[in-house]
Structure 1
Amino acid sequence: CVCVCVCVCVCQVATNTMDNPLLKYNAKEYFFKASLCHFIVDELNAKLAIEKYEEMFPAFADSRECKLLKKLLDAHEEQNCEAFTEAVKEFDSISRLDQWLTTMLLRIKKTIQGDAGDLK
Structure 2
Amino acid sequence: YQKSIDIYEEIARQSLNNNLLKYGVKGHLLNAGICQLCKGDVVAINNALEKYQELDPTFSGTREYKLLADVAAAVDEEDVVKFTDVVKDFDSMTPL
TM category, shorter: over 0.9
> Match for residue 110 of structure 1?
none
Instruction: Give the alignment partner of residue 21 of structure 2, picking from 16, 20, 23.
Output: 23
Distance of 1:21 and 1:81 partners within structure 2: 39
Instruction: Give the alignment partner of residue 34 of structure 2, picking from 29, 33, 36.
Output: 36
Superposed counterparts of 1:5-24, under 5 Å: 5-24=3-22
The one-letter code matched in structure 1 to 2:18 is N
Give TM-score scaled by structure 1 length. Answer: 0.77
> Match for residue 84 of structure 1?
83
Distance of 2:26 and 2:79 partners within structure 1: 26
Superposed counterparts of 1:98-113, under 5 Å: none
Stretches of 4+ moved more than 4 A in 1?
A: none
RMSD over aligned Cα, in angstroms? 0.7
Could you tell me which runs of 5 or more consecutive residues in structure 1 were left unpaired when the two chains were aligned. Answer: 98-120
SS across alignment from 2:19: coil
Give TM-score scaled by structure 2 length. Answer: 0.95
The one-letter code matched in structure 2 to 1:60 is F
Could you tell me which runs of 5 or more consecutive residues in structure 2 were left unpaired when the two chains were aligned. Answer: none
Distance of 2:14 and 2:26 partners within structure 1: 12
Number of residue pairs matched by the alignment: 95
